[in-house]
Amino acid sequence: MVELEKVRAAAEAKTKATAEATRLELELRELIQEAFADDNVRLKDLIEATGLSKARLYQIRDGRR
């Protein structure tokens, strides 16, 4: 039989992890937008640093999706 306390703990951990992932996503978006505003950051370097595609980086820059 499943212990409900373990289920509850797992659900709480998942909720916290989701909140942290959301926070990190927002932080990354802000940093990418700042990088685009910095004339010293090359797109090639930003692609390498993030592992994201050029198209995705432009979406983030433009506030799409």
What pLDDT does residue 21 have? 98
Higher per-residue pLDDT: 1 or 58:
58
Concatenate the DSSP letters of all residues of 1-65 into one string.
Answer: ---HHHHHHHHHHHHHHHHHHHHHHHHHHHHHHHHHH-TT--HHHHHHHH---HHHHHHHHTT--
- In the predicted structure, residue 65 carries a pLDDT above the cut 90: no
Could you tell me the pTM of the whole model?
0.81
The string of pLDDT tens digits covering residues 5-64 is: 999 999 999 999 999 999 999 999 999 999 999 999 999 999 999 999 999 999 999 999
What pLDDT does residue 57 have? 97
Number of domains comprising the chain: 1
Domain range for 27 is 4-61
